[in-house]
Amino acid sequence: MILVPLALMLNICVLIPVVGSILAGAQWTAEAYGPPTSGLQILTAVYIAILLMSVYLLVAPNNEMTKALLSMQILYKVLTLATVTPQSITNPVVASNTGIALFHSVALATII
């Protein structure tokens, strides 16, 4: 059961610098995500929602909500592989999403 809090902490540890960097307009975010667009703003909102839910679920654990959060993350991260161009597979966002999806899959399996 230790994997579930670790998965939530992973979300927090990844998303705080990512969201902060996107909001600050850090150069690396333009290289990894592309220029600021409405799509990036929507993605940032999704990241903030995942971040807030991860914090909440660490404070107030709820297996059903955690299953939903991790399942949604696994699904969108895996679908990323199917929707990006073959050249984008090496993009650091795509690569890290794949690793996180694998970790989250193992964590999710422990509470299903």
Q: Shortest CA distance to 67 belongs to which of 104, 20, 23, 17?
A: 104
For residue 64, the number of C-alpha atoms closer than 13 Å in the C-beta half-sphere is 0
Alpha-carbon torsion angle 94, 6, 69, 106, nearest 10: 70
This prediction has a pTM of 0.94
Residue linked to tokens 């579930």 = 4
Residue 24 lies in domain: 3-109
Number of domains in the chain: 1
Tell me the pLDDT tens digit for each residue of 85-107: 988 889 999 999 999 999 999 99
Tell me the pLDDT tens digit for each residue of 46-87: 999 999 999 999 999 999 999 999 999 999 999 999 999 988
From CA 55, how far away is CA 50, in angstroms rounded? Answer: 9
CA-angle at 76, arms to 84 and 40, nearest 5°: 65
